[in-house]
Chain A
Amino acid sequence: MNGWQLIRRTEPREWGSVAVFATAFAVSLAICALLLQVQGHNGAGGVWLLLKGGFGHVYSYGEILLKAIPIFLCSLGVALCFRLQVWNIGAEGQYVIGTLGGCWFVLNFPGLPAWLVLPGTLAAAMLSGGIWAGLAALLRQRWGMNEIISTLMLNYIGIEILNHLIYGSWRDPAAMNQAVGPYFPPAAVIGRIWDSDFWLKHGVSEGTADFFFQFFGRAHWGVLSCILAGLLCSFLLRKSRLGYEITAAGSNPRAARTAGISYNRLVILVMFLCGALAGLAGFQECSANLERLEPNIVMGYGYTAVVVAWLARLRIMRIALFTLVLAGLRFGVENIEQDLQISHAFANTLEGIILITVLAGQLFNDYKISRKGRPAASGATGGEERGS
Chain B
Amino acid sequence: MFKRLILTGLCLALVLGLFSPNRPQAAQDKKEIKIGFVYISPVGNAGWSYAHDLARQALDKQPGISTYYMESVPEGADAERVILNMARRGYDIICTTSFGYMDPTIKVARQFPKTVFLHCSGYKTAANVSNYFGRVYQARYLTGMVAGSMTKKNEIGYVAAFPIPEVIRGINAFTLGVRAVNPNAKVRVVWTKTWYDPAKEKDAALSLMDVGVDMVTQHQDSPGVQEAAQDRKVYSIGYNTDMSAFAPDVQLTAAIWNWTPFYLDVVDKVRAGTWEAGSFWPGLETGIVDIAPYGKMVPQQVRDSVDARRQEIATGKFVVFGGPVKDQSGKLRIAAGETPDDKELLSMDWFVEGVVGKPE
* A interface residues, Cβ below 8 angstroms from B: 14-15, 17-18, 21-22, 51-52, 55-59, 61, 63, 66-67, 163, 167-168, 175-179, 214, 218, 285, 289-291, 294-297, 299, 317-318, 321, 324-325, 328, 331, 334-335, 337-338, 341, 343-345
CB distance from B207 to the nearest CB of A (A): 18
- Bound-state CA distance A177–B168 (Å) is 11
CB distance from A42 to the nearest CB of B (A): 18
Judging by beta carbons under 8 Å apart, are A18 and B6 in contact? yes
CB distance from A358 to the nearest CB of B (A): 13
- Bound-state CA distance A317–B4 (Å) is 7
* B interface residues, Cβ below 8 angstroms from A: 2-4, 6-8, 10-11, 14-15, 18-22, 42-43, 68-72, 74-78, 80-82, 85-86, 88-89, 99-100, 103, 123, 162-165, 193, 343, 346-349, 360
- Bound-state CA distance A217–B163 (Å) is 35
Q: Which residues of B contact A57 (CB under 8 A)?
A: 20, 22
Judging by beta carbons under 8 Å apart, are A14 and B3 in contact? yes
CB distance from A14 to the nearest CB of B (A): 5
User: From A300, which residue of chain B is reached at the shortest CB distance?
Assistant: B74
CB distance from A343 to the nearest CB of B (A): 7
Judging by beta carbons under 8 Å apart, are A334 and B85 in contact? yes
Judging by beta carbons under 8 Å apart, are B99 and A178 in contact? yes
Q: Which residues of B contact A167 (CB under 8 A)?
A: 162-164, 360
- Bound-state CA distance A22–B14 (Å) is 10
From B20, B81, B346, name the one whose CB has the most chain A CB atoms within 10 angstroms.
B81
Q: Which residues of A contact B68 (CB under 8 A)?
A: 338, 341
Report which of B78, B80, B164 forms a contact with A178, defined as CB distance below 8 A: B164
Judging by beta carbons under 8 Å apart, are A289 and B360 in contact? no
Q: Which residues of A contact B2 (CB under 8 A)?
A: 14-15
- Bound-state CA distance A371–B15 (Å) is 37
Report which of B4, B81, B348 forms a contact with A177, defined as CB distance below 8 A: B348
Q: Which residues of B contact A218 (CB under 8 A)?
A: 77, 80-81
User: From B166, which residue of chain A is reached at the shortest CB distance?
Assistant: A178
- Bound-state CA distance A325–B6 (Å) is 15
Q: Which residues of A contact B100 (CB under 8 A)?
A: 294, 296
Q: A177-B165, A334-B82, A344-B42 are in contact. Are A18 and B7 (CB under 8 A)?
A: yes
Q: Which residues of B contact A179 (CB under 8 A)?
A: 162-164
Q: A15-B7, A56-B19, A214-B22 are in contact. Are A66 and B164 (CB under 8 A)?
A: no
Report which of B11, B72, B78, B165 forms a contact with A321, defined as CB distance below 8 A: B11
Q: A14-B3, A57-B20, A290-B76 are in contact. List 17 more A-B contacts (CB 8 A).
A: A14-B2, A55-B19, A59-B88, A167-B163, A168-B360, A175-B123, A179-B163, A214-B22, A218-B77, A296-B76, A299-B74, A321-B8, A338-B70, A338-B85, A338-B86, A344-B71, A345-B42
From A67, A168, A178, A331, name the one whose CB has the most chain B CB atoms within 10 angstroms.
A178
Judging by beta carbons under 8 Å apart, are B10 and A317 in contact? no
- Bound-state CA distance A52–B18 (Å) is 7
CB distance from B212 to the nearest CB of A (A): 27
Q: Which residues of B contact A290 (CB under 8 A)?
A: 76-77, 103
Judging by beta carbons under 8 Å apart, are B72 and A163 in contact? no
Judging by beta carbons under 8 Å apart, are B76 and A176 in contact? no
Report which of A17, A52, A296, A343 forms a contact with B75, defined as CB distance below 8 A: A296
Q: Which residues of B contact A175 (CB under 8 A)?
A: 123
Of the A-B pairs whose beta carbons lie under 8 Å apart in the complex, a sample of 10, sorted by A's number, is A15-B6, A57-B20, A167-B163, A167-B164, A179-B163, A289-B77, A294-B100, A296-B74, A317-B8, A341-B69
Q: Which residues of A contact B19 (CB under 8 A)?
A: 55-56, 58
User: From A12, which residue of chain B is reached at the shortest CB distance?
Assistant: B3
CB distance from A296 to the nearest CB of B (A): 4
Q: A18-B3, A18-B7, A66-B77 are in contact. Are A343 and B71 (CB under 8 A)?
A: yes
Judging by beta carbons under 8 Å apart, are B85 and A177 in contact? no
- Bound-state CA distance A15–B2 (Å) is 8
Q: Which residues of A contact B69 (CB under 8 A)?
A: 341
Report which of B70, B165, B193 forms a contact with A176, defined as CB distance below 8 A: B165
- Bound-state CA distance A297–B74 (Å) is 10
- Bound-state CA distance A325–B10 (Å) is 12
- Bound-state CA distance A18–B5 (Å) is 10
User: From A58, which residue of chain B is reached at the shortest CB distance?
Assistant: B22
Judging by beta carbons under 8 Å apart, are B80 and A289 in contact? yes
Q: Which residues of B contact A297 (CB under 8 A)?
A: 76
Q: Which residues of B contact A52 (CB under 8 A)?
A: 18
Judging by beta carbons under 8 Å apart, are B72 and A344 in contact? yes
User: From A66, which residue of chain B is reached at the shortest CB distance?
Assistant: B77
Judging by beta carbons under 8 Å apart, are B18 and A51 in contact? yes
Q: Which residues of B contact A344 (CB under 8 A)?
A: 42, 70-72
Q: Which residues of B contact A295 (CB under 8 A)?
A: 162
Judging by beta carbons under 8 Å apart, are B123 and A176 in contact? yes
Judging by beta carbons under 8 Å apart, are A318 and B71 in contact? no
- Bound-state CA distance A56–B3 (Å) is 26
- Bound-state CA distance A295–B43 (Å) is 22
CB distance from B38 to the nearest CB of A (A): 11
Report which of B72, B77, B163, B346 forms a contact with A285, defined as CB distance below 8 A: B77
Judging by beta carbons under 8 Å apart, are B81 and A63 in contact? yes
Q: Which residues of B contact A338 (CB under 8 A)?
A: 68, 70, 82, 85-86, 89
- Bound-state CA distance A317–B3 (Å) is 11
Report which of B4, B14, B76 forms a contact with A294, defined as CB distance below 8 A: B76
CB distance from A109 to the nearest CB of B (A): 24
Judging by beta carbons under 8 Å apart, are A177 and B11 in contact? no
Judging by beta carbons under 8 Å apart, are A55 and B14 in contact? yes
From A17, A163, A289, name the one whose CB has the most chain B CB atoms within 10 angstroms.
A289
User: From A320, which residue of chain B is reached at the shortest CB distance?
Assistant: B8
Judging by beta carbons under 8 Å apart, are A318 and B165 in contact? no
CB distance from A190 to the nearest CB of B (A): 12
Q: Which residues of B contact A331 (CB under 8 A)?
A: 81
Q: Which A-B residue pairs are the 5 nearest by beta carbons?
A: A289-B77, A296-B75, A344-B72, A176-B347, A177-B347
Judging by beta carbons under 8 Å apart, are A163 and B193 in contact? yes
Judging by beta carbons under 8 Å apart, are B22 and A59 in contact? yes
- Bound-state CA distance A167–B3 (Å) is 50
Judging by beta carbons under 8 Å apart, are B20 and A56 in contact? yes
Q: Which residues of A contact B14 (CB under 8 A)?
A: 55
- Bound-state CA distance A55–B103 (Å) is 26
- Bound-state CA distance A178–B103 (Å) is 13
- Bound-state CA distance A274–B103 (Å) is 31
- Bound-state CA distance A14–B76 (Å) is 41
Judging by beta carbons under 8 Å apart, are A56 and B18 in contact? yes
User: From A179, which residue of chain B is reached at the shortest CB distance?
Assistant: B164
